[in-house]
Amino acid sequence: MASQSESGQQGIGVANDAAGATPSSDFQRLLTTEVRFPPSPEALVAADVKDYQVLYDEAKSNPEAFWDKIAREFTWIKPWNSVFEGQAPGARWFVGGQLNITSNCLDRHAHGSRAHKTALLWVGEDGEERIYSFSELLALTCQIANGLKSLGVKKGDRVCIYMPLTPEGIATMLACARLGAIHSVVYAGLGSGALRARIEDAQARIVVTTDVGYRRGKTTPLKTIVDEAVKGLDIVEKVVVHRRERPAISLDASREVDLYDLCGNQPTTCSAEVMESEDPLFMLYTSGSTGAPKGCVYVHGGYMVGTAYYSKLAFDIKEDDVYWCMSDIGWIVGHSTMVYGPLANGTTILVREGSPDTPNPGVAWEIVEKYGVTKIFTAPTAIRMFMKFGPDYPRAHKLDSLRLIVCAGEPLNPEALLWAREHIGGNGRVPICDNWWQTETAGPTIGTLVCMEARPGRAGKPLPGYTAKVLDRTGQPVQPNQGGLLVLEGAWPQMFRTIWGNEARYLEYWQILPPYYTVGDVATVDDDGYISVLGRSDDVMNVAGHRISTSDVESALISYPAVAEAGVISKPDPIKGEAIKAFVTLKVGQSPSDELKARLIEHVRHELGPIATPSELDFVAGLPKTRSGKIMRRVLKARELGVETGDLTTIEE
């Protein structure tokens, strides 16, 4: 939430050189409104929403009626007295209403026409397959809920889930929700110190884990990490272990129990706890470069309504969809748009444990062809990885089932969007839609719907139900295409309600530019309201008085045919204030050389102008990333400057 752009300074795609000239090139035009892709005619005909503005205006003009109508699509034990009360950050939604989110994700489908419809299609990295209908997923959820209940788990208790992307992991989340217990999913792969800190902060009585996880053909010893994390931690009463390996690892009977020994013979029915709309559903920890991880808290009622609605809207969900979310239950994407949102809509979800380039770079397209995947939600990092391996892999498979690809997690650079349109999306047949949101907003927030034209380099417009603005440091709107701080006005149903045990830290989000929620990202907005999110406010460089986005320079580098990925940082410079350094990974078959380095630097100069030209460029084998695929530029910067790297609990390698 650090510094913000000053009013009047340049943002993405408009960095001027020292003489004031603006460079002109094909790439430059991709970063302005000159290049636009109209909606795919095929997608537009099938789209539920045909006119963004009409829907946006409906939500804006009467938000109470808008959300009341949506909420009535779901099953409530007791209806609400009011749609919302109060103002952000203290707003409450569907006040007086009672429900349980799992009744809407499972029971209303299992006891209706979707009883035998596939709810969960799970694929392992080795090709193992397990399929659960809504009835079967409900049964598994109830068995695990009954098992946890036998350990004394009750409403309000915290349960830590440290499991990989398996059916058992998803069902354990749902089982906690069914009992009214607050689950805290910790990404299976974080170290023991990070896990222990989260267990202690939540005061979790129960930890549910797995012996191992599988990724890139290797095993991660999760149980060993849990052993170290809970050593001497008296608040943990039981550790429940899903044992996958054979022969099975031994357990300490004094505190440990096998998941299927505990749950396998339990009844397949379990009454859902009656929850007030504002009762906590789960907490999810998000961490940054400084400070302790923040346990964001979400509730049953508003979270269910908001995530179900925005999942259906952003992904244009249809009854026959096979929807593949390439994320993990350890992140908010895995909660909102892999588990709760799609299941509340009765959607068939495909989930896969492992890396999308293992056991071979074409495995993602094998899966699309085999299972008839219709919608994919992924990260720009994955698109760039597919680019790295080249178009032959998607070309080798029949991808006719695909109807939509949505990206989120970090800015979708124009080159990746164009490549995906051509090589994955059938030369524009399949919309490639950008999307922006964050852990705290808990669902798609700014995006491009299938009925909207796509503008490379821009995430889109605020989705119906949100009001987004780009402001300078005084709280005034910036001019079109000039950088400022992205803020959200008002409240939305699925937003986080507090930081667990730290209300003061929660309120800080609204204290930077009151009364707005400040998201911590720098952005620009064009004349038509399309927003480009440049990255965190500390990812904007100040070179000789010019504001230059790291993602802008990275996009220019990636537009060069030999480049797979790029990470850009600033370094102190006695003359310019800051100088630019780039770290570049090359596509398969390309080799580093001084000649290539010179060509890349000249390429950026040509695309963005002299002021944005890197002073240094290093070739690297890989870039430090979070497990959700975001480049950790602060790690690059810290190592370059020889300073402490800060919290690295979310780093993949």
- The domain segmentation of the chain, as residue ranges, is 138-273, 538-641
Buried-exposed string 150-174: b where 16+ CB fall within 10 A, e elsewhere: ebebeeebbbbbbbbbbbbbbbbbb
Token couple for 457: 């380099």
Q: What is the pLDDT of residue 18?
A: 24
Kindly indicate the confidence band of residue 23, based on its pLDDT and cuts at 50, 70 and 90: very low
Kindly indicate the confidence band of residue 54, based on its pLDDT and cuts at 50, 70 and 90: very high
The whole-number average pLDDT for the span 92-113 is 98
Decide which of 6 and 296 is more confident: 296
Q: What is the DSSP string of 37-72?
A: BPPPHHHHHH-S-S-HHHHHHHHHH-HHHHHHHHHT
pLDDT digits (tens, 9 = 90+) for 576-619: 667 899 999 999 999 999 999 999 999 887 776 667 889 999 99
Looking at domain 138-273, its CATH class is alpha beta
pLDDT digits (tens, 9 = 90+) for 553-580: 888 899 899 999 999 988 887 666 678 9
The whole-number average pLDDT for the span 436-445 is 95
The answer to whether residue 5 scores a pLDDT higher than 50 is no
pTM over 0.85: no
What's the chain's average pLDDT?
89
The answer to whether residue 37 scores a pLDDT higher than 50 is yes
Decide which of 652 and 470 is more confident: 470
Q: What is the pLDDT of residue 10?
A: 24
Token couple for 582: 């780039």
Q: What is the pLDDT of residue 539?
A: 67
Chain Cα centroid distance, residue 142: 28
Cα distances from 3 to residues 385, 539, 540, 587, in angstroms, run 31, 10, 9, 35
Q: Where are the alpha helices (DSSP H) in 390-463?
A: 392-395, 414-423
Which among 1, 218, 166, 167 is positioned nearest to 652, based on CA atoms?
218
Contacts 24+ apart (CB under 8 A), 195-198: 195/160, 195/162, 195/225, 195/226, 195/229, 196/228, 196/229, 196/230, 196/233, 197/292, 197/293, 198/160, 198/285, 198/293, 198/295
Q: What fold, for 538-641?
A: GMP Synthetase; Chain A, domain 3 (3.30.300)
Q: Are strands 213-215 and 322-325 parallel, antiparallel or unpaired?
A: unpaired
CB-based contacts of 327, cutoff 8 Å, min separation 6: 333, 334, 337, 338, 377, 379, 628
Q: What is the pLDDT of residue 522?
A: 86
Q: What is the pLDDT of residue 291?
A: 52
Minimum mean pLDDT range among 251-260, 304-313, 521-530: 521-530
The answer to whether residue 410 scores a pLDDT higher than 90 is no
The answer to whether residue 1 scores a pLDDT higher than 70 is no
pLDDT digits (tens, 9 = 90+) for 420-434: 999 999 999 999 999
d(Cα 284, Cα 143) in Å, to the nearest integer? 24
The answer to whether residue 406 scores a pLDDT higher than 90 is yes
Helix (H) or strand (E) holding 171: helix 167-179
Q: What is the pLDDT of residue 575?
A: 61
The answer to whether residue 34 scores a pLDDT higher than 70 is no
d(Cα 368, Cα 344) in Å, to the nearest integer? 23
CB-based contacts of 62, cutoff 8 Å, min separation 6: none
CB-based contacts of 198, cutoff 8 Å, min separation 6: 160, 184, 186, 204, 285, 293, 295
Whole-number percent of the chain with pLDDT over 90: 74
pLDDT digits (tens, 9 = 90+) for 321-336: 999 999 999 999 999 9
The whole-number average pLDDT for the span 172-198 is 91
